[in-house]
Amino acid sequence: MKTPRLLAIFFLLSCFTIGASHAAEHHSGHGTSSGGGGAGENGCLKPQLTKFLPANLATVAPGSAFSFWAFNVEKPEQIKVTVKTVPVEVTTEDKDSFFLVKGNLPAELVNTTARINIKVNAKIPRCNGENGWLVKISEQ
């Protein structure tokens, strides 16, 4: 009667020991310095594009200024902005945890609705980001 109980206890202990050693082996090296997970060499944080100004669907004059915040972007050169497929030159201000990006709508776009489209090209293609918003451009 004691033998089956002892076998059951040894079996359970061996299961815990094997499971613990497998977990330790599998998860070793996942710190931020090794690049094994999170935002390291093999992982990434997708860019976050927020605080769009003017607001979505706002009516603005041709050539009006716009701005947005870009988080999780390494270099400002990674940010590309187009308005109705027209490339737009932007300026960036490094605010420590994000970039403040500013630009102007193309002056030739009048009496139309246009999407301000933002693309962030990262080193790893699966880490790229894209976002944007619509504005109504008046006649003047």
Condensed to tens digits (0 to 9), the pLDDT of residues 97-135 reads: 999 999 999 999 999 999 999 999 998 899 999 999 999
pTM: 0.69
End-to-end CA distance of the chain: 94
Condensed to tens digits (0 to 9), the pLDDT of residues 6-25 reads: 666 656 556 555 544 444 44
In three-state form (DSSP H/G/I as H, E/B as E, the rest C), the secondary structure along 79-130 is EEEEECCEEECEEEEECCCCEEEEEECCCCCCCEEEEEEEEECCCCHHHCEE
Is residue 135 within 8 A of residue 66, CB to CB? The reply is yes
Is residue 30 within 8 A of residue 43, CB to CB? The reply is no
Q: Which residue segments constitute the domains of the chain, with CATH numbers given? A: 48-137 (2.60.40.10)
CA distance 28 to 30: 6
Condensed to tens digits (0 to 9), the pLDDT of residues 35-79 reads: 344 455 567 889 999 999 999 999 999 999 999 999 999 999 999
The pLDDT score that the predictor gives to residue 83 is 98
